[in-house]
Structure 1
Amino acid sequence: MGNILNPGNDNSFIRLVKFKDSEIFVDKTDFIGKMSAKLNADKRLFAITRPRRFGKTVTAHMLSAYYSKGYAGQKIFDDLKISKEKSFAEHLNKHNVIYIDMNSIKDKYISYKSDKTLYIDDIDDIVDFLQYMVIRDLKENKQYAEQISSDPLIGKKSLSSALEVICKYTGEPFILIMDEWDLIYREYQNETALQEKFIEFLRGLFKSDDGGSCFALAYLTGILPIKKYNSQSALNGFKEYNMLSPEPFEAYFGFTEDEVAEIVKSPGCTLSHEELKKWYEGYKLNGIHIYNPNSVVSAVSDGKCKSYWSGTSSNEEFVRLINMDFQGIKEDIINLIEGDEVTFSCANFQNDMVTVKDKNDVFCILVCLGYLGCAETKNQYRKVAYVPNAEIKAVLMDIVREQNWYERMETIKRSENLLKAIKKLDGATVAAIIQDIHNSSAVALLDYNDEESLTYCVMTGLLWATLDDYSYHREDQAGKGRADLVYEPITRKQPLILIEFKYDDSAEEAIKQIKTKEYFKRYIKQYRNIILVGINYSAETKDHQCLIEKLD
């Protein structure tokens, strides 16, 4: 392969550095120092997992560019954070690095399987092929080739033995970096024997005696944590940092609040910090607010906030998991989209996509995949799941609406009935539906003490019914003031809906304000059919009142 042992080729990190003065570049090279502190230490095996497009590969490429002898002499880290540290030169390009990109291995294995002329004896599956490719790369080093060839026990697929022989001869342990370590668990889900073979292969590499001494550092990255068997990790020597337990590396994968604040100051950025926050922030890792880095970069480049998530991965796993419908998880997902939170346990999660026993496992997987954020509780095994931002909310809504059970859900029916009641000028029904939403878990009753809370309640109710035909605006400049909530139709077939809220006043006064301040005048030339909605909540009676009129 030529790029497994001591890679020195161009990679994603080097390209970022090369264009750092003209493109978005966030310097996280101080992470290298944290890894260097663990070289040859007792705890030197790391597994750091995050969702797709959270900077895992860039970080792996960064470590490779720093440690690998293949990059010696290249001025990659000049003026970056790591260059200011005292230990900078100590490990710079002084290690033998084995870099394994499992996506690349998979692609080459597929090509190998499809061409019978490439057949190699005893290479029966992707695990065999992986070992064969690494050994082949090691043999391109004449010194290593001589040592490997002199040992009759080393064949095409005995990588651990090959590394032991080399290390005994050279006295130099390797640094192993494996990107997408969990690919076999994600893409060969139902091949249990293959998964177990892969884990046994990794166990053989990192066993405590000779195998473990072959590595000064091992760094695995992927999406899923290391699989557990009977509550024990399959690779006991590894220290894991994932979305369920990220500390102390929370800030190194994704953009932090301060980093985004600097990004919006750049001359080419036309988006506000608040826009980026609404769309891409929301992953709260041990109190640190993390933004999806790929989406932020894409949005700033395009000058537009939208969902970039669906372009990064398949949603098939999400669909499969929610359609299991453990303990009403379909309803939970809809409630989460509407802003609710759900408590779950991660105590018995087996860290794979197949051994899914209950709703708790589903939520653990969705957090690891990035579809949900999670917050800590006083119990380390109890977490609170939520939809992190507008980007993920948009993705989840699109997925849910494609399911054959979508229209049968009570929440969806309620939303449609609310919109129908508004169009029919049926204030009593509207008030009753809003009362029902007010009494649901999606609304925090203790905080229901102003017009803002009332606005959120109505927006929650109309969420699903207005997706195709309306866009909404809050505090829209109109007439002689700002309208509380406006639902503007995408086509003129639908009525424009102007909503004004009152708290401890009256629905009549809300309608009066719309007319007095002429909120409708901005729209009257474009829309002939305009509906005025006045809603009031009485803190004393805990009731909603609604008055609806058509503009004459």
Structure 2
Amino acid sequence: MGFYLNSVFPFAGYQEMESDVYFVDKSLLVCELVPALGKRNRYFCITRPRRFGKSVMANMVGAFFEKDVDGRSLFADLAIAKEDIYEKHLNKHNVIYIDFSKIPEKLDDYQSYIDRISDGIKQDFLQAYPELKFDKDMAVWDILFYVFQKTNDKFIFVMDEWDAVFQLPFVTEDNKKEYLLFLKTLLKDQVYVELAYMTGVLPIAKYSDGSELNMFVEYSMATRAKFSEYFGFLDSEVDKLYETYLSVEQKPKITREDLRIWYDGYFTKSGNRIYNPRSVVCALTDNELANYWTSSGTYDSVFTYIKNNVAEVREDLPLLFAGETVRSDIQEYAATAMQLNTKDEIYSAMVVYGLLTYENGCVSIPNKELKDSFANTMKKEESLGYIYNLARESIKMVNATLAGDIKTMAEILKFAHDTESPIFSYNSEIELSAVVNLVYLAARNEYRVEREDKAGEGYVDFIFYPECKSADAFILELKIDSTPEEAIQQIRDKNYVLRFKGKLGEKPKYTGKVLAVGISYDKKTKVHSCKVEVLE
């Protein structure tokens, strides 16, 4: 057992994860890999946003295949144990496990970084094959070939965070080329490679010109269906986790619907919708809904991506925030360009890093956790112009609505319309709803805002659910070329207020007043009209 060769690290890492009360069994991934052992198409690169289970699965793959550990204690009760391949392959292979994100203390140059890995592998082989007496000054790939030649032993390579090196401050452009050459020489067309399983955030095409690592088939969330069910949580898996949560939490504060609203919404090429796994587990563990993922890394700032092209992207932000989709040609290779200048480049990067999701040629914001990140950007970045100004006005709009001050409400909506943005042409309710999202942006601090939510006998445009159950709630209906009175009448006729009533025999979920808010816009007169009534 060495530091890289048949290391204890993947076993220990997966054991720690499996012991968690909110563990999800994804062990059937192994079934996707076994048919490729020793075959020409044996190179896999899985790319996903941060915290979508890449390292967990890399640890699982290493723990399952590698010799020198007994994996039965880990896998006997998992789905893979029922498969025919289980006995044949469990702990029967040599595994070289490399986590490229692991950096020792005081390391500040690329050569030391890569020498540490290369020398570590050499040292492991000197200990594992003392009878071969090879020269330690040989290149690591020459040693591996020599071992194969003498013993016929092959090796599974499990490489986690392959792209971490590109984010290191001391790595130069020449170093990046050297690194790609290192991986190519180590892996490409080498007979000692039984399988290569590699993970990262960034697809290879962003760094390679296509020749160095073109033996890998890349599997991203947006563009490839294979492996999609193994990264992120499916609806059925969250159902089971929630059952566990209810059984272990004495005073559960989270509903199943809360998890969907906050953390669901990522589309995969296979058509599945998946949840952010880190956020789900953290929320259930803490018994609290929060932005666990978007506050955990430097690449999670919306403004990081849009700052080079605020003018173009600015027009899309209200639509995205309103829950609409925006057409985009996703080009994943562009995501790490030094300058993200076009909308497609910007949206491509945001999809790769998980800030947007992609389906059928369109991008959208997947869930509340990400909407909060967009909201923070719109409220604090003055370069966003009218969006920033409207966001600042939103506090007045919320207070005016709760007070029934329809004059102030109409003035703020007119202020929105008087901007020069083409989105404020109000040719449809979609555009009007985008404006409403902006002028009520501040409400998201104290309300859960749902658009086109099922209520009573139909779908209401907006429902504002207060976080404080004793606060006033409000239901908002929009009308073009109509009147606010008709909007309120629709709220009453379709009994939308039932959304705030508990089930028969239960106490109401909300004890404050429920307000009916009607907003209309006349395209000819360009006049906004508002009305607020208390629903009984």
Q: What interval of TM-score do these two structures reach, taking the shorter chain for normalisation?
A: 0.7 to 0.9
TM-superposed CA distance for 1:94, in Å, is: 0.9
Contact 1:532 1:548 (C-alpha < 8 Å) held by counterparts: yes
Contact 1:223 1:368 (C-alpha < 8 Å) held by counterparts: yes
Report the more deviating stretch, 388-397 or 62-71: 388-397
CA 1:49 to 1:544, structure 2 compared with 1: closer, same or farther past 3 Å? same
Whole-Å separation in 2 of the counterparts to 1:129 and 1:357: 37
> Which residue of 41, 66, 69 maps to 1:68?
66
CA 1:387 to 1:489, structure 2 compared with 1: closer, same or farther past 3 Å? closer
Match of 2:500 in 1: none
Structure 1 runs (4+) greater than 6 angstroms displaced: 434-437, 442-446, 487-490, 509-515, 537-543
SS in 2 for 1:425: helix
Contact 1:418 1:429 (C-alpha < 8 Å) held by counterparts: no
CA 1:102 to 1:393, structure 2 compared with 1: closer, same or farther past 3 Å? same
TM-superposed CA distance for 1:47, in Å, is: 0.4
CA 1:300 to 1:459, structure 2 compared with 1: closer, same or farther past 3 Å? farther
Match of 1:179 in 2: 160
Whole-Å separation in 1 of the counterparts to 2:302 and 2:485: 46
Whole-Å separation in 1 of the counterparts to 2:473 and 2:76: 58
TM-superposed CA distance for 1:63, in Å, is: 0.7
> Which residue of 27, 30, 34 maps to 2:28?
30
Q: State the one-letter code of the partner of 1:111.
A: K
Match of 1:279 in 2: 262
Match of 2:39 in 1: 41
Match of 2:484 in 1: 507
Report the more deviating stretch, 330-339 or 90-99: 330-339
TM-superposed CA distance for 1:253, in Å, is: 0.3
TM-superposed CA distance for 1:70, in Å, is: 2.1
Match of 1:8 in 2: 8
Match of 2:504 in 1: none
- 1:21-420 map, 5 Å: 23-72=21-70, 74-104=72-102, 106=103, 108=104, 110-112=105-107, 124-143=111-130, 146-149=132-135, 154=138, 158-188=139-169, 191-208=172-189, 212-228=190-206, 232=210, 234-266=212-244, 267-268=247-248, 270=252, 271-286=254-269, 287-315=271-299, 318-325=302-309, 328-333=312-317, 335-347=319-331, 349-350=333-334, 352-354=336-338, 356=340, 358-376=342-360, 383-406=361-384, 409-417=385-393, 420=396
SS in 1 for 2:30: helix
- RMSD of aligned Cα (Å): 4.3
Q: State the one-letter code of the partner of 1:60.
A: A
Residues 508-533 of structure 1, C-alpha deviations (whole Å, 9 max, x = no match)? 57789999x9x9xx9xx999xx9985
CA 1:488 to 1:258, structure 2 compared with 1: closer, same or farther past 3 Å? closer
Whole-Å separation in 2 of the counterparts to 1:484 and 1:31: 41
TM-superposed CA distance for 1:333, in Å, is: 4.3
Structure 1, unaligned stretches of length 5 or more?
115-122, 377-382
Seq. identity, %? 28
TM-score by length of 1: 0.77
Contact 2:49 2:354 (C-alpha < 8 Å) held by counterparts: yes
CA 1:183 to 1:334, structure 2 compared with 1: closer, same or farther past 3 Å? farther
Match of 1:119 in 2: none
Contact 2:334 2:349 (C-alpha < 8 Å) held by counterparts: no
TM-superposed CA distance for 1:464, in Å, is: 3.1
Report the more deviating stretch, 241-250 or 367-376: 241-250
CA 1:318 to 1:5, structure 2 compared with 1: closer, same or farther past 3 Å? farther
Residues 176-235 of structure 1, C-alpha deviations (whole Å, 9 max, x = no match)? 011110001223487211111100001101232xxx211100011111111346863641
TM-superposed CA distance for 1:103, in Å, is: 2.0
CA 1:229 to 1:162, structure 2 compared with 1: closer, same or farther past 3 Å? same
TM-score by length of 2: 0.79
Report the more deviating stretch, 532-541 or 181-190: 532-541
Contact 1:414 1:461 (C-alpha < 8 Å) held by counterparts: yes
Contact 2:44 2:216 (C-alpha < 8 Å) held by counterparts: yes
Q: State the one-letter code of the partner of 2:231.
A: F
CA 1:113 to 1:416, structure 2 compared with 1: closer, same or farther past 3 Å? closer
TM-superposed CA distance for 1:53, in Å, is: 1.0
Structure 2, unaligned stretches of length 5 or more?
498-507
CA 1:549 to 1:197, structure 2 compared with 1: closer, same or farther past 3 Å? same
Match of 1:471 in 2: 447
